[in-house]
Copies of this chain bind each other. A is one copy, B any other.
Amino acid sequence: MTDAFEKDPLVLFMPSGKRGRFPVGTPVLEAARQLGVYVESVCGGRATCGRCQVEVQEGNFAKHGITSSNDHISPVGPKEERYDRVRGLPEGRRLSCSATIQGDLVIDVPQDTVVNAQVVRKAASDRVIERNAAVQLCYVEVEQPDMHKPLGDLDRLKAVLEKDWGWKDLLIAPHLIPQIQSILRKGEWGVTAAIHRDMDSSRPFIVGLWPGLKNEAYGIACDIGSTTIAMHLVSLLSGRIVGSSGASNPQIRFGEDLMSRVSYVMMNPDGREAMTKAVREAVNGLIGKVCEEGGVDRHDILDSVFVANPIMHHLFLGIDPTELGQAPFALAVSGALQYWAYDVEIDVNRGARLYMLPCIAGHVGADAAGATLSEGPYRQDKMMLLVDVGTNAEIVLGNSQRVVAASSPTGPAFEGAEISCGQRAAPGAIERVRIDPVTLEPKYRVIGVDKWSDEEGFEEDAAKIGVTGICGSAIIEVVAEMYLSGVISEDGVVDGAMAEKSHRIIANGRTFSYLLRDGEPKITVTQNDIRAIQLAKAALYAGIKLLMEKQAVDKVDTIRFAGAFGSFIDPKYAMVLGLIPDCELAEVKAVGNAAGTGALMALLNRDHRREIEATVKKIEKIETALEPHFQQLFIDAMAMPNKVDPFPELAKVVTLPERKVITAGGDEGGGRRRRRERG
């Protein structure tokens, strides 16, 4: 561009919109590089790898002042013809290393070579996420040994990598040193080096070496959850996801929830080691699964990014999590970490690296950092609430000005634990519930059955599976519906007086239950179940409210529910129950495994690693246990929807029962008294 004149052709690259003038004859790839447009190339312009494909958009782009035409690019030459003959070039595609600029052009860099559709999560700011993997493949032709210049094979390899690709001060993974001679000779001095340019050193590293042209490299992005491990396998060259899968975390056999696993470590001398081994084996197994799905050799995996909650993070890395089970909840490491994948016994290419996102705080882990990277509250101006509900809810609230984060001890009720008929989301679990406000009769849906319970043929279908319990999403809905139909009061007490109106209300010693399904087993919602949900939602809401107070807002602009729980929950019921603050329902979105998406982003673009490292440092960490106000917020949040908020947005979509004054703490006795008064 330095020697570009006004009369030089104007070239516009799409979708990035970057543009510049280049002399006639400039290769399109060279123009892209000068403009910082990311176009992959492995063969270094030899027209053999085919990674640098582009398309000319023909037409008059008046807005840009460009009339683009296929006449403005050099005709297909012998190199492209050869590539087309040998490997096939799709109609209209050109190899940008060989095609040269002859006039004004609009060049389309095809989507699969810019960024993967699943990864381009256009954030509120409409930012396009460009791909910029840490690993790059570089084909070179190494000078043969020469007695006049007795440089070693490695030293000549480094020299040509600097000459052809500009890599200075290259280092090499030690395990490759004994292999260099045979690889160079097998490739007849033509080899492909994998360069990792995001090592924790500032120098680029040769992490892989193959004879001849190596035209593919993969990475994995992995979220290690307490219950489930989720993984993507992705091409580092095209950004294409070639495999996605999940597996149960085998640590479950040591303890269902996080705290029971910490207890296991405290009680058993080999507990930490056993759990570390279990999770690493599961990760290796899952790698096998995604590789089979994608038809990929696991030794072609050259990079990996992991996220996990703090306890999974520690156990995966072989760190004792005991400190996280007690105040002051001290993390052994909070910053981002880099390893050789081999260091933590991950069986992929010996030169593959492992990047672990930073943890935000003792209970707000690298998974929350991944979700934060994915949803990007700090990248936009709206006040965004990002919630990931598990045994602890990880809560992030903020915008481009300021981000605060906390965790709140919701306990396992939302996951179906501590609920009398609760179970995990699996076939046979009730997942949706509606209660008729007049008859108090329910209808529900069961995972694995296509019909609602009041539709014809439901019982026949349900019989095949067996209806066995209620999963997390249905617990929210049934409690919310009980409130909306007046079965429970704002303070969460089942109105025993209703037992006269409906056989669904059943006396249970001193309390009452709601009979959701009369079958084998009977599925009921007990007063204790409602209390457990009340406690969980109060904890979550109090945490959110605390962060809202820190941000001095009484309303959020947008809500993102991350995680499995968030995927199944109906935002309306979450709001009825008071899990989340008032917000336009259209702005409440389930974003699935946002933590995993964040890992994928960090895998495909190393700039995102620096971005989340810097962001996590800036996030203000709020420890609920240190906030004297938190207890009051918790008590206030016991009511349904919530004592403290008017919820105008919710009123637009559901009819809320008349509000009543409840006593702080909403004890059962008081509830009964009011019920009797009402009755």
Q: Can you name the residue of chain B whose Cβ is closest to the Cβ of A354?
A: B174
Q: Which residues of B contact A151 (CB under 8 A)?
A: 331, 334
The complex places the Cα of A171 from the Cα of B335 at a distance, in Å, of 11
A200 interface hit (Cβ, 8 Å): yes
Q: Can you name the residue of chain B whose Cβ is closest to the Cβ of A272?
A: B178
Within 8 A of B (CB), among A333-357: 333-335, 337, 339-340, 343-344
Q: How many copies does the complex hold?
A: 2
Which of B158, B174, B340, B625 is within 8 Å of A147, CB to CB? Answer: B625
The complex places the Cα of A344 from the Cα of B177 at a distance, in Å, of 11
A626 interface hit (Cβ, 8 Å): yes
Q: Which residues of B contact A178 (CB under 8 A)?
A: 317-320, 332
Which of B150, B181, B202, B361 is within 8 Å of A320, CB to CB? Answer: B181
Q: Which residues of B contact A202 (CB under 8 A)?
A: 201-203
The complex places the Cα of A623 from the Cα of B150 at a distance, in Å, of 9
Contacts A171-B200, A328-B145 given; does A334 touch B150 at CB 8 Å: yes
* A148 B626 Cβ-Cβ under 8 A: yes
A362 interface hit (Cβ, 8 Å): yes
Q: Mark A292-325, 1 if CB is under 8 A from B, else 0.
A: 0000000000000000000000000111100100
**Min C-beta distance of A275 to chain B, whole Å:** 13
A252 interface hit (Cβ, 8 Å): no
* B318 A154 Cβ-Cβ under 8 A: no
Contacts A201-B203, A203-B201, A332-B154 given; does A362 touch B147 at CB 8 Å: yes
Q: Can you name the residue of chain B whose Cβ is closest to the Cβ of A146?
A: B328
Q: Mark A501-528, 1 if CB is under 8 A from B, else 0.
A: 0000000000000000000000000000
Which of B148, B152, B175 is within 8 Å of A332, CB to CB? Answer: B152
Q: Can you name the residue of chain B whose Cβ is closest to the Cβ of A320?
A: B181
The complex places the Cα of A178 from the Cα of B201 at a distance, in Å, of 21
* B171 A332 Cβ-Cβ under 8 A: no
Which of B148, B155, B361 is within 8 Å of A334, CB to CB? Answer: B155
Contacts A178-B319, A318-B178 given; does A333 touch B152 at CB 8 Å: yes
Contacts A152-B330, A153-B330, A201-B200 given; does A147 touch B623 at CB 8 Å: yes
Q: Which residues of B contact A340 (CB under 8 A)?
A: 174
Q: List 15 additional A-B contacts (Cβ < 8 Å) besides A147-B327, A150-B331, A150-B361.
A: A147-B625, A148-B626, A150-B334, A150-B623, A152-B359, A153-B332, A154-B334, A174-B339, A174-B343, A177-B333, A177-B337, A178-B318, A181-B319, A181-B320, A201-B203
List 29 interface pairs A-B (beta carbons < 8 Å), by A numbering.
A145-B328, A147-B625, A147-B626, A150-B329, A150-B621, A150-B623, A152-B331, A152-B332, A152-B335, A152-B359, A153-B330, A154-B335, A155-B334, A155-B335, A171-B200, A171-B201, A174-B339, A174-B340, A175-B343, A177-B319, A177-B333, A177-B337, A178-B317, A178-B319, A178-B320, A180-B332, A181-B320, A181-B332, A199-B201
